A and B are shown apart, each in its own frame.
Chain A
Amino acid sequence: MEGRILEKQPVIEMRGVTKRFVDVIANDKVDLKLFPKEVVALLGENGAGKTTLMNVLFGYYNLDGGEMLINGESVTFSSPKDAINHGIAMIHQHFTLVQTQTVLENVMIGMEGSFFLNYKKAKDKLLAIEKEFGFQLDPDAIVWTLSIGEQQKLEILKALYRGAKILIMDEPTAVLAPTETIELFDTLRNLVKSGHSIIFISHHLQEVMDICDRVVVLRNGRRVAEATVSETTIPELASLMVGRELLERLDKGKSKTGDAVLEAKDLKVKNNRGITAVDGLSFVLREGEVLGVAGVSGNGQTELSEMLFGEIKPEEGEIFIYGKKIPGGSPAAVIAEGMARIPEDRIKTGLFMDLSVKENMILESHIKEPISKKGLINMKEIRIFADNCINSFSVKTDGMDIPVKSLSGGNLQKVILARELVGNPKLVVACQPTRGLDVGAMEYVHQAMLDQKVSGSGVLLISDDLDEIFLLSDRVIVMYEGKIMGEMSAEEADRDKIGLWMSGVIS
């Protein structure tokens, strides 16, 4: 925006803010200042601690260390209500709107004041705010008839109606179409002009350059850098974001690449909001290699994995396993070709949490002999199979008959690994296989992937954890907005370059 006014008092000052979860430090002595009429970007990869920091600021989490000052006054928030009372509002990625109510009713929720509703007064106030900031939302429109961009505007209106002066926006552009992003930025500029301050969480570098004054970069929970936008460049930000640590070198093991196991040709699909998520994607995976698919999450990786797993049908393009064309949208067909599948969300799609460990082990083999024959299941064979799975993958469980939900996260993932890998498949597709796991479980998963590769399987590793990608992959492709930005081999791995590709910049 216009020049910063550094001599002024910051509206928000976080000093040495620390937040721990059981065994992870999510924020480690983070400092952050926000000045009046300023847009500060909070930049970092997934898991860098951006959202946690903002949840602390918004009163969802208690501080484990450090302090927060609002307008120079030390504050303690015990719930978002306290933050709201201090003029802070948070606009979440997932909207908190009542879809069947009108714009006006959504704005009024929680602000009723007394037993009787004064629609007229509320409407006048809403319209005045809309006029001041250039919004054009019909107060009587029902929310579900609004576009995503309009719903986001309504979230902002709600905040303004409550007198918010500080807006925290959590990846606001992730859900928007390009034209809606331009409109959002216009709105934000208007807000800043009238004295609001904004914290903008993002990992889209171009957007940060477009809208922000200052950038604070987080990595692994620490504040690693700060820069003034007018004095920095996209390549510099990219390298700050992904870091320059020495790459950890795991013994990747030796293997000879062989035939093409999996081939994707011009895959194209829209996501559930109707926006193109995967846009003409092609790659070939060979026996004996790990192909890493890197990228900031939300760039089509989920949809790519769902197409490969058979969960959704590609609108265009084809998938081949060992040269055989696979009908789209059929998990059964993919299973029949022997693909081992590690889904992104093990609880939502990978497991029957209320069923026993053994019943989860047979999810994909329950229609095959000897597990079942002529429609009847063979409990003896199931026990043998499950026992073998549990032992080969050292799943820590109190027997095979207890509900799988009583296992720890790492062991849940081991149940899936065991089920998928026990038959030594020639093709493994894993999507975010270590998300949410502790270090020990993570190493186990990594080793299992490498073992598969060494034994001659092709492994496709989709992950937004760049360290993981570098650690395991022989080749890396980078996805951005559903397209492949580039490919490089492990030997020429260059974090800066990959960082740029992940941000949509080709250099």
Chain B
Amino acid sequence: MIGMSIVKRKPLPGWVMLVIPVAAVFVTLLITSIPILIAGGNVFKAYGALFQGALGSKFNLLETFVKASPLILTGLAVAFAFRAKFWNIGAEGQLFAGAIMATWVGIYFTWLPGFLVLPVMIILGFLGGGLWATIPAFLKTKLKVDDVVTTLLLNYVIFHMMGALLFGPMQMPGSSWPRSASIMDAAFYPMLIARSRFHLGIIISFVAVLVIWFINNKTVFGYQSKGVGINLNAAKFGGINTNMVILKTAIISGGLAGLAGVGEVAAIHHHLMMDVSPGYGYTGIVIAMLGNLHPVGVALAAFFFSVISVGAQTMSRVAGIPIYIVGIIEGVALMTMLIFILLTEYKIRWTKS
């Protein structure tokens, strides 16, 4: 019989971590060619159409950026939290919190001077997501309640709170649907490239990547947050106020997800509705893992996911592959990446007995 055991390997050089996501993407496309074949498609034609559809023209490329923007923000949100081992599965809910705040400002803050509307909306959207994330952070640090459970379940709480608002005080007058009135024009994210949807939010998400990179690598807080994630005992021993670090981490993480919600309202929908997010918060988890919790990795992973999701439309039309292949690719990408990460720390030893 052949047995298998997993043994720890010696630390690998740093560059390996750069190669791994690329290799994971490659392996993923290899694996997902199997269902494409089963669906009766030509693999090269299908992938060709996929990338053509996402990157093949200026308009398509810009659309891919549009789609990547919320994914970058939720991916960063999750990655920043996971780095401190604050298991934030709640980016989806924090996105809703941000979207609600943005809508509130966009509809009711008509008394504000026009140039102040966007800054106020962005700040309140960030705070909305951030404060929503402090609830599980408090529960974790003060009462030792598991953060995976609380962050996840709070998604449903705020989803239904949003429903109550959209059927209640925030419902568009005269509508029978759960949707808000449209936000004022001053609250629209400006479009930065003509005849496209390339909006301010995309720039905000790129700036967020830089800011998170800066926090991680250049600030005392970034060092402390990483330390808390790697060894809570040692962090405490070193005099770090670990509860405060977790709380601040939660605010920044939730805030980033909140900004994704602001973007969806201010740039895409211009009003609030129940399906303001097609699961960006959950996809953010996959992206954070695929990006190995590194901000630049997150941006690239988000872009990859965006390519798949935008290009799948073309692939479906040209190669006749159902659009549901997107979900398969996303899932396989996550599994592949997790296995690759495992293999950087451990190796498999086959034994015969």
Contacts and interface: CB of A to CB of B under 8 A. Distances in A.
Interface string A430-447: 000000000000000000
Give the most central of B223, B233, B238: most A CB within 10 Å: B238
Interface string A304-331: 0000011100000000000000000011
Interface in B224-274: 224, 226-227, 230-231, 233-241
B186 to A, nearest CB: 35
Contacts of B241: 332
Interface stretch (B121-129, B176-184, B214-222, B308-316): B214-222
Given A311-B237, A372-B220, 16 more contacts: A309-B237, A311-B236, A331-B237, A332-B239, A348-B231, A348-B234, A350-B234, A352-B227, A352-B230, A352-B234, A352-B235, A366-B224, A367-B239, A376-B218, A376-B219, A377-B222
Interface of A: 309-311, 330-332, 334-336, 341, 343, 348-355, 359, 362-364, 366-367, 372, 375-377, 402-403, 405-406
Given A331-B236, A332-B239, A352 B231 contact: yes
A240 B19 CA distance: 61
Interface of B: 10-11, 218-224, 226-227, 230-231, 233-241
Contacts of B220: 366-367, 372, 375-377
A336 B238 CA distance: 11
Nearest to A335: B239
Contacts of A343: 237
A131 to B, nearest CB: 41
A351 B234 CA distance: 6
B223 to A, nearest CB: 6
11 contacts: A311-B236, A336-B239, A351-B231, A351-B234, A355-B226, A355-B227, A363-B234, A363-B238, A366-B238, A367-B220, A403-B11
B109 to A, nearest CB: 32
Contacts of B221: 375
Give the most central of A330, A343, A351, A402: most B CB within 10 Å: A351
Contacts of A375: 219-221
Contacts of A341: 237
Contacts of B235: 352
B238 A377 contact: no
B219 A348 contact: no
A406 B223 contact: no
Given A367-B220, A372-B220, A349 B227 contact: no
Contact of B233 (A334, A349, A366, A406): A349
A349 B238 CA distance: 9
Contacts of B218: 376-377
Nearest to A360: B234
Contacts of A351: 231, 234
B227 to A, nearest CB: 6
A351 B240 CA distance: 13
Nearest to A348: B233
Nearest to B231: A352
Contacts of A405: 11
A406 B237 contact: no
Nearest to B222: A377
Contacts of A402: 11
Contacts of A403: 11
Give the most central of B219, B234, B235: most A CB within 10 Å: B234
A396 to B, nearest CB: 16
B304 to A, nearest CB: 26
Contact of A349 (B222, B226, B237, B239): B237
Give the most central of B10, B224, B236: most A CB within 10 Å: B236
What 8 A-B pairs come out closest when comparing CB atoms? A332-B239, A363-B238, A331-B239, A349-B233, A352-B230, A349-B237, A335-B239, A354-B230
B11 A353 contact: no
B11 A406 contact: yes
A352 B235 CA distance: 8
Contacts of A372: 220
A348 B235 CA distance: 10
A362 B234 CA distance: 12
Given A375-B220, A376-B220, A405-B11, A355 B237 contact: no
B353 to A, nearest CB: 12
Contacts of A354: 230-231
Nearest to B238: A363
Contacts of A331: 236-239
B238 A364 contact: yes
Nearest to A375: B220
Given A352-B231, A353-B231, A377 B237 contact: no
A225 to B, nearest CB: 40
B223 A359 contact: yes
Contacts of B237: 309, 311, 331, 341, 343, 349-350, 363
A377 B219 contact: yes
Nearest to A351: B234
Contacts of A350: 234, 237
A44 B313 CA distance: 74
Contacts of A330: 239
A351 B220 CA distance: 17
B244 to A, nearest CB: 11
Contacts of B227: 352, 355, 359, 363
A359 B224 CA distance: 10
Nearest to B226: A355
B231 to A, nearest CB: 5
